[in-house]
Chains A and B, each alone.
Chain A
Amino acid sequence: MRPTLLRTTMLGLLLCAVIPAGVWGQRPPAPVLPDWSGVWQMVGPTVFDTSTVEPPSGRAGEPGVRERPPYNDEWEARYRKNIEGIRNGVFPDPVNTCGTPHGFPRVMNLPDVYEFVVRSEQVWILGENGPNILRIYTDGRKHPAAEDMWPTYTGDSVGHWEGDTLIFDTVSTKGSRDSDVIVDRTGLILSDQLHTVTRMRRIDDMTIEAQIVLEDPKALKAPWRVTKRYRKQPTDTRAYDYSCAENNRNPVTSSGRTLTLGPDGKPIDKVVN
């Protein structure tokens, strides 16, 4: 090989090695995604907005416990009706019907444990209780056109990464239009016009935080800001099946009362209607 040809060849190889692929018209390298591996558990009780719960130690499902979302008058009245139903033991939790997803935003408010699967094109939030899966598309797609979208329990979520923060937008949830979605067992409900923007980030080694801003022109007078946190569990923690229909001894009557079945499958409650 002549010296000139040798130099040209070596220069070409060098350029191939040092020039980023993007210069050649290929896709830029994927962003470095954060490590959200492992098993996580929501911090605190399943009260959706723990910052406004009354009384402060109140738990969802206990009679009289409530939160203070910025409801308009109509939806405040609906919420109070649900609270009264809980007091009287006749407000059903839709997930008592085995197989019904918790829906969004309740999927961010589950007991038991979570797994967060981060991939370049999607993030999956897997709730052990349910089962519940929230799929967040991060491949650049937008929400479907209105005519191609219909309300579902978890709606449609699209998002993107800004550094180590996942920002996703959720629309097209069922809300309470079929009385089949609640936000928590205090009786919180939202409409099918709900639009949320959620920012999720691992704020320290042990904690992932989700800041959720909820806007609902039917139900809310102002944006409702709620923060949920998830604590990392020991490394050997496993998530398991959750099969609600396996041995459901708490069916719900048509009036919304939750029954307790004895070992023979018959209600043992004195009041069953």
Chain B
Amino acid sequence: MKAKHILLGVVALVCCVQFAPSLLAHHAATMFDTTKVIEITATVKELQWTNPHVWIQVYVQKAGGSREEWSVEANGPNSLSRQGWRPTSFKPGEVVTLRINPMRDGTPAGLFVGVKFANAATLGRWDPQP
């Protein structure tokens, strides 16, 4: 499902070619469109604090009331821990705003760029929007 089909206001195309793509240690990021960044407001299902990559599983509300699970891939826990991440950084049930490089084929997944929590704290890159 394409991002624009998600409930208005839940996913907004930020379109930021000025964002440098994230680095992935284990595999190439060719499945992600690193020239684009989309923003999703989502409810955390779980944080998979694992190698070779950390995954943030979230639910995104769709038009009509149903919800869709998205998989957000980040770097490995070793490097992320040195950037301030912890296994408890994402708590199940909390609402967060994520910026991701979307999948090229439009499936509900993406490469982590940055996150803003309800208390305004951020992780990753959270540059001012253009």
Contacts and interface: CB of A to CB of B under 8 A. Distances in A.
Given A63-B30, A246-B51, A240 B71 contact: no
B71 A244 contact: no
A129 B78 CA distance: 9
A258 interface: yes
Contact of B73 (A129, A240, A249): A249
Interface stretch (A70-78, A89-97, A188-196, A201-209): A89-97
A269 B107 contact: yes
A247 B29 CA distance: 17
Interface residues of A, number: 42
B53 interface: yes
Interface in A232-259: 233, 237, 239-244, 246-250, 252, 258-259
Interface class of chain B by DSSP: loop
Contacts of B50: 246-247
Interface in B69-119: 69, 71, 73, 76-79, 81-82, 103, 105-109
A62 B21 contact: yes
Contacts of A260: 31, 71, 73, 103, 107, 109
A86 B51 CA distance: 24
Range class of the B interface residue count: 20 to 34
A29 B26 CA distance: 44
Contacts of A46: 23
Contact of A271 (B28, B34, B105): B105
B55 to A, nearest CB: 7
B63 interface: no
A159 to B, nearest CB: 28
A93 B24 CA distance: 12
Interface string A202-237: 000000000000000000000000000000010001
Contacts of B81: 240
B31 A269 contact: yes
Contact of B26 (A63, A86, A237, A250): A250
A63 B35 CA distance: 11
Contacts of B25: 111-112, 129
B76 A242 contact: yes
Interface in A90-143: 91, 93, 95-96, 98, 111-113, 128-129
Top-8 shortest CB links A-B: A247-B50, A61-B28, A89-B30, A270-B105, A111-B25, A240-B78, A246-B51, A250-B27
